[in-house]
Amino acid sequence: MSKHAMTAQDAAGIGRIGGLSVVAKHGPDAIAARARAGLWRKFCREADPDGVLSETERTRRAELVQRAYYARLAKRSADSRRRRSRKGDGDG
């Protein structure tokens, strides 16, 4: 067994190679569609964890869960940009 431990850079490089290989084989649209479908299933599970709602109500609630998810993402991004902007203000 090798005594060489895998570094984060090694793992990132292997992951990049794997990701590029998958996209080359299946195409970026197929990969993105699969990811979107998985995320939508997650929203549906959060909206109706027990599976008791009608399809219409589950979809309506999942759309709200999705909107909340993206609103949180946007807020985190804006907060991060604001922090970076403030950090750069004092360096001049």
Query: Tens digit of pLDDT for each residue in 25-52?
Result: 999 999 999 999 999 999 999 999 999 9
Query: Using an 8 Å Cβ cutoff, are 38 and 52 in contact?
Result: no
pLDDT at 4: 76
pLDDT at 18: 96
Given a cut of 90, whether residue 19 has pLDDT beyond it is yes
d(CA 82, CA 73): 14
Given a cut of 80, whether residue 1 has pLDDT beyond it is no
- Region of 5 (left: φ > 0; alpha: ψ -120 to 50; beta: rest) is beta
pLDDT at 92: 45
Instruction: Tokens for 58, please give them.
Output: 């589950």
Average pLDDT across the chain, whole number: 92
pTM confidence score: 0.69
Query: Using an 8 Å Cβ cutoff, are 53 and 47 in contact?
Result: yes
